[in-house]
């Protein structure tokens, strides 16, 4: 019974964190162009050779390249500190992992997203796609390994799985 109570509490806490995060991003002034000003290479863009659709999206040089398990573990480990995770704030992150959840529909203010696997209940890296990159999501399949690049804003919550915005598919098997 205690495990069910803990699981229910964990789900509620995660739901509140996601809701607050999405609400905050809705009212923020951050845009993709703001993302370009924060790259390590001075905003130089690199063409994405594996994108599909009528227009290939442009991606920027990654600040970090990690697996979904490594990235999630760093955020969710017991005792994680915001100061330690700030190195990811306002950075472009390339994440490779297995698709564990896939939502292709936009629901109210929630963009379509994919979760890349990490072990544990309610763990994984959530990757949110902008409207102009939705066509790419059709390449994604459950339980397949993919590589996605996204932007980690400065809304970082220690001991909660990370999420990336403005994502693009770099590789889908």
Helices (H), 51-160: 68-76, 82-85, 134-137
Q: Please tell me the least confidently modeled range out of 12-16, 65-69, 70-74, 140-144.
A: 12-16
* pLDDT tens digits for range 91-125: 999 999 999 999 988 888 788 999 999 999 889 99
pLDDT value of position 105: 86
Q: What is the pLDDT of residue 109?
A: 79
Instruction: Name, in order, each residue with C-beta under 8 angstroms of 77's C-beta and a sequence gap of 6 or more.
Output: 159
Q: Specify the pTM.
A: 0.68
* 132: three-class secondary structure by DSSP: helix
Bridge-based pairing state of the strands 45-47 and 58-60: antiparallel
For the stretch 20-48, pLDDT in tens is 444 443 333 333 333 333 333 333 333 34
Round to whole Å and give the CA distance between 163 and 71. Answer: 10
Say which residues have a Cβ less than 8 Å from residue 151's Cβ, sequence separation at least 6.
35, 90, 91, 92, 93, 164, 165, 166, 167
Q: Where does the pLDDT of residue 56 fall: very low under 50, low under 70, confident under 90, or very high at 90 and above?
A: low
Q: Which of 172, 171, 154 lies closest to 163 in space, CA to CA? A: 154
- The answer to whether residue 77 scores a pLDDT higher than 50 is yes
pLDDT at 51: 42
Can you list the domains of the chain with their CATH numbers? 2-172 (2.40.50.140)
With a cut of 70, say whether residue 52 has pLDDT above it. no
Name residue 110's beta-bridge partners. Answer: 107
Most confident of the following: 2-11, 106-115, 133-142: 133-142
């Amino acid at each position: 019974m205690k495990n069910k109570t803990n699981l229910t509490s964990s789900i509620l806490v995660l739901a509140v964190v996601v809701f607050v995060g999405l609400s905050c991003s809705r009212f923020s002034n951050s845009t993709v162009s703001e993302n370009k000003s924060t790259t390590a290479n001075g905003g130089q863009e690199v063409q994405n050779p594996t994108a599909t659709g009528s227009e290939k999206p442009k991606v920027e040089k990654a600040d970090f390249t990690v697996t979904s398990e490594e990235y999630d573990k760093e955020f969710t480990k017991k005792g994680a500190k915001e100061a330690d995770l700030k190195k990811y704030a306002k950075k472009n992150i390339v994440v490779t992992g297995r698709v564990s959840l896939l939502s292709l529909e936009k629901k109210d203010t929630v963009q379509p997203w994919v979760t890349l696997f990490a072990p544990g209940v309610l763990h994984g890296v959530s990757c949110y796609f902008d409207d102009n990159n939705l066509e790419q999501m059709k390449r994604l399949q459950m339980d397949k390994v993919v590589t996605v690049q996204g932007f980690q804003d400065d809304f970082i919550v220690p001991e909660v799985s990370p999420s990336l915005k403005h994502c693009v598919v770099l590789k889908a098997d």
